Structure 1
Amino acid sequence: MAVRPYWKGFLKLSLVTCPITLTPATTEGEKVKFHTLNRKTGDRIYTRYVDAETGNTVDKDDQVKGYERAENEYLVLEDEELESVHLESVKTIDIGEFAPLDTVEWTYFDTPYFVVPDAEISEEAFIIIRQAMANKGVVGLSRLTISGRERPVLLQPWEDGIILWTLRYGNEVRDEDEYWEEIDDQPVDKKMMSMVEKLIADRTVDWSDKMARDPVQDNIKEIIKAKDKPKPKRKKAAKDEEDEAPAASNVIDLMAALKKSLESNPDATPKKKRGS
């Protein structure tokens, strides 16, 4: 069942404009959600904003944003002042630049949305923009105000449609060089490289959404299901003996580990992809 659009507006490229809708490409609808309860009464607990000094509840109309310039000293910013710095990206996604997809670092990608033409007459313009980007191997870059916040966005051709990704700001992404610089650049053992490549080939399969399953959520649902019905009385089972854990070692023999990995499946061959 299709989800209702989250945002409506226009996709624009120079003089080409078409009405579109955005719908979140992900969902947490299947995720188990909890409420916080009062253990003594079983009643639900609600959160409220309270004054840090008086402890009194603060009405919504009296809640404002403040910038801390010194300890316990704030500058108050009104909503009108914050809105005045927003760009004109409330209803139009104006593609101003393009970039090769493989040049965009994945650490910038944030939240995906499905982009869909909002009227039959807009499909031709939508298809032309999508297919032209796909033919050139590029993504479109723009800005969009969504959920009250302006974000840089990236438009990526995806099968018959377009995926819009909100992007993290540059100051939100850490510099990877600070972390990789500690890794020594040393010659690679060709024999070990060949063994690792064989391990990869043996375990390569087509992507499936089952690879991203959430076993914790499944287990929580089982607990809820068990608690939601009377449990039959049963005799206490004898406790199984725990397997003795192997002793930890600080020395890792990489070649031995690779040989053991390959020997455990000596006849393994690369798995065929579906449809081949």
Structure 2
Amino acid sequence: MHTMWKGTISFGLVNIPVKLHAATENKDIKLRNLHKECETPVQYEKICPVCEKEIENDDIVKAYEYAKNKFVVLDDEELEKIKKEQQDKAVEIVDFVKLEEIDPVYFDRSYYLSPNEGGSKAYALLRKSLKDTGKIGIAKIVIRSKEQLAIVRVYNNTIVMETIHYPDEVRDTQHVPNVPAEDNLEEKELDTAKMLIDQLTTEFDPEKYTDEYRTALMELIEEKKENEEVTTATDKPKPDNVTDLMEALQASLDRSKKGTKTTKSGKKKTTAKKKTAPKTKKAASQ
């Protein structure tokens, strides 16, 4: 399993060297965009709308737009300095709370934590302590240049770290439109709904839930492959010698036109040649 990050997690005077691994993976089927006419993959270029030219990554700087078309430019050294200052800090568990106190709307991504060299005993100590107390830890960590708030808990005998959103990242429910303020329900309607919930209540088994869309899409793709309904992208045609010659001739012609000035009457203005005195017989004999 790929290691994303190495560091330490501490609570009190206990320091645990750990490795971070992604606990989940995105299995979305990625589809490419092809040109309908020739079925060639479409490229997306970085174009400056003012200069009207393609730009390279080295020509790009990062900036914060604090108002419409008003930016504060930040160079790589400044960003790297802040990143280094935060990464040098150990991940410290600052509080312990009950898991049920955190609403699922706060949860973001999950990561597995494994002990690094010399950290097995401290890892086991934290795991056992969390299990026995039924608590989870609240910590901070910098991942990919972003400081994350996280919880540390136990899942299937493995310590899991789950990033959670900061309070100001969770939108206020009062801004959700058309939410009824009162229920205004008939007692019979409510009893029927509760009865339906009771009938559908079961123990959570994650294995029974599958991505039906992804399965159907993969079946369609495999069916098309078996029926040889496939296409192969063609390479971009390279200019031949004739094309190169024509381009060179046209470029020379354009330069020639630019170098020739015209007068108001429309006649071409040529540069007068400087006359030199004829050589004398004496000079010629020399």
Question: Would the alpha carbon gap of residues 37 and 176 (structure 1) be closer, same or farther in structure 2, given more than 3 Å must change?
Answer: same
Q: Deviations over 1:19-45 (max 9, x none)?
A: 2111111112x4322222233333323
Match of 2:223 in 1: 226
CA 1:37–1:198: 2 relative to 1, 3 Å:
same
Asked which structure has the greater CA Rg, the reply is 2
Scaled by the length of structure 2, the TM-score of the pair is 0.69
In 2, Cα distance between equivalents of 1:195 and 1:162: 42
Unaligned runs of 5+ in 1: 232-276
Cα gap change, 1:9/1:227 in structure 2, threshold over 3 Å: closer, same or farther?
same
Shift of 1:6: 2.1
**1 or 2, which has the higher helix percentage?**
2
Amino acid of the residue matched to residue 213 of structure 1? T
User: Measured at CA, do residues 127 and 177 of structure 1 come closer, stay the same or move farther in structure 2, by a change above 3 Å?
Assistant: farther
Q: Could you tell me which of 38, 41, 45 is aligned with 2:42?
A: 45
Secondary structure of 1:88's match? helix
Listed as ranges, the matches of 1:92-241 within 5 Å are: 92-119=90-117, 121-179=118-176, 182-185=179-182, 193-230=190-227
Q: Provide the C-alpha distance between the structure 1 equivalents of 2:105 and 2:137, rounded to a whole number of angstroms.
A: 17
What is the aligned partner in structure 2 of residue 237 from structure 1?
none
d(CA) in 1 for partners of 2:177, 2:60: 44
Secondary structure class of the residue paired with 2:215: helix
SS in 1 for 2:54: coil
8 Å Cα contact 1:108/1:167 also seen in 2: yes
Q: Distance in 1 between matches of 2:47 and 2:211?
A: 37
Superposed CA offset, 1:195-241 (max 9, x none)? 4343223222222234542111111112212211238xxxxxxxxxx
1:56-75 CA-to-partner distances (Å, cap 9, x unmatched) read 12221221112224433322
* Alpha-carbon distance change, 179 to 71 in structure 1, aligned in 2, over 3 angstroms: closer
Over aligned residue pairs, what C-alpha RMSD do you find?
Answer: 2.8
What residue in structure 2 maps to residue 36 of structure 1?
33
Counterpart-to-counterpart distance in 2, 1:132 and 1:203:
36
The alignment's TM-score, normalised by the length of structure 1, stands at 0.71
Q: Is the 8 A contact 1:90 1:144 kept in 2?
A: no
Native 8 Å contact 1:18 1:117 kept in 2:
yes
Match for 2:5 among 4, 7, 13? 7
Q: 1:127 & 1:180 partners in 2: Cα distance?
A: 48
Unaligned runs of 5+ in 2: 229-286
Pick closer, same or farther for the CA change 1:152–1:204 going to 2, 3 Å: same
For residues 100 and 206 of structure 2, the distance between their equivalents in structure 1, rounded to whole angstroms, comes to 23
Q: Tell me, what secondary structure is at the counterpart of 1:41?
A: coil
SS in 1 for 2:38: coil
1:235-250 matches, cutoff 5 A: none
Give the CA deviation at 1:112. 0.6
- Tell me how far 1:164 sits from its aligned partner: 0.8
68-77 vs 151-160, greater mean Cα deviation:
68-77
Equivalences, count: 228
Mapped to 2, the partners of 1:31 and 1:156 lie a distance apart of 27
